[in-house]
Amino acid sequence: MSDEPTDNRVGRLLAGTTVLQAVPALQDDMAGRAALRIAIGLLRAGARALVVGGGGPLVGELQALGGEWIELDFAAESLFRRGRSARALTDIVTTEAVDLVHAYGADAARTAARALPHTPARLVTTYAGAPPPASWRGQPHDAMAGGQRVITASAFAAGLIAERHRIPPERVAVIAQAVDTDRFDPAAVSPERVAALRYAWHIDPNSRVVLAPGRLGPARGQLTLVDAARILVNGGLRRTVFVIAGDAADADSGEAIDRRIEAQGLRPIFRRVGHCDDMPAAYALADLVALPTERPSIFSAIAAEAQAMGRPLIASNIGALPELVRAPPRDPEASRTGWLVHPRDPLDLARTLAAALALGPEARQAMIRRARQFAETNFSPERVAAATLAVYGALLDNAGL
């Protein structure tokens, strides 16, 4: 194996190439910013960066940096308009001598699948969401699995994609979704913002806080958290407040949580605060973040954000979550950034909450540092962009370009 830095090798592989990103739009959001960062990385490597798709406020920024934008509608509903979009993409790839196309999501992947067989360009797809059930044969999801390299957010998702679509596992690249590690940074949150939330949520300054962020629903684990809190109170827990922060999927979900809190006699120590506009401050306020979900997911922004804020995390041992928190037995104790618990198990959650709340100051500070470092290494926008460029470089290298 060469000792040469990976980014230098990738830069040489990309130099002189033309890479086209096919995106829904260039909005000023995480998806649009991700496409812009990749374009910047391509330009720095000496490649030509084209972005094709809908417009948005980032178009001017892309062009000012030296990237190129071409408008094309990938979300057309009629077969005629879809065919016209595919032909237009074929013309762009041919005329601009595009070496590689990266299609994001079902609509762009479907268009690229029709357009690229008539060109020598290589295809990378980003698989949005989870694969459909094994009996489903829908074209949009099949197209997302049709790239020479398929990018997904976790090894859990990669296994599902390879199995459902019967593609070799080595074709699927795992690159975590990015979170804004500049915004979700303990150093960027002032004490005044934290104090404002503590005041608004009526939390005593001497109380510890367990934060359970995320949408409310039957499979989100909030009811398990309430039952675990009852076990802890029975065991003598004091000076701890549980904050449930998130919108309800429907009125019944919120009412079910409220009824469980009342039935357990826990109204004084629970706050159901709804949507929070300042989640970095909410994480900074918390001593622990609980994510006791009962539904497997391919990624969790909450898990990434919490650790970016240096918060110890307790998460269900389900779906992609075991990949997103460092905890035994997967990782050594010295690397721990949180704990994994069995879903729908209030006793296991209560025991783990008790152990986490009993951490001494030195152990807690060490875990805070490890959590932040883990997030910067795995979820920062810069890391995600670099990993994506590495996928491009490896594919172009194999193509002999």
**288-291 and 68-71: which strand pairing?**
unpaired
CATH of domain 6-178+380-398: 3.40.50.2000
Residue 137: the pLDDT is 53
Choice between 9 and 24, residue whose per-residue pLDDT is larger: 24
Domain with CATH 3.40.50.2000 in the chain: 6-178+380-398, 186-378
pLDDT tens digits, one per residue of 66-95: 999 999 999 877 777 888 999 999 999 999
pLDDT band at 6 (very low <50, low <70, confident <90, very high): low
Residue 135: the pLDDT is 61
Sign of CA dihedral 338, 339, 340, 342: negative
pLDDT tens digits, one per residue of 191-232: 999 999 999 999 999 999 999 999 999 899 999 999 999 999
Residue 3: the pLDDT is 39
Residue 80: the pLDDT is 76
Residue 375: the pLDDT is 98
Mean residue pLDDT across the chain:
93
Q: Please report where in the chains the tokens 């150093």 appear, as a residue.
A: 187
Residue 398: the pLDDT is 82
Q: What is the CA radius of gyration of the chain?
A: 23
pLDDT tens digits, one per residue of 118-158: 899 999 999 998 887 766 554 445 899 999 999 999 999 99
Residue 4: the pLDDT is 40
CB 40 within 8 A of CB 34: no
Q: Please report where in the chains the tokens 């990237």 appear, as a residue.
A: 67
CATH of domain 186-378: 3.40.50.2000
Q: For the ranges 170-179, 215-224, 250-259, 277-286, which has the lowest average pLDDT?
A: 250-259
Residue 75: the pLDDT is 84
Q: Looking at beta carbons, which pairs linking 166-169 to residues 24 or more positions away fall under 8 Å?
A: none
Residue 136: the pLDDT is 52
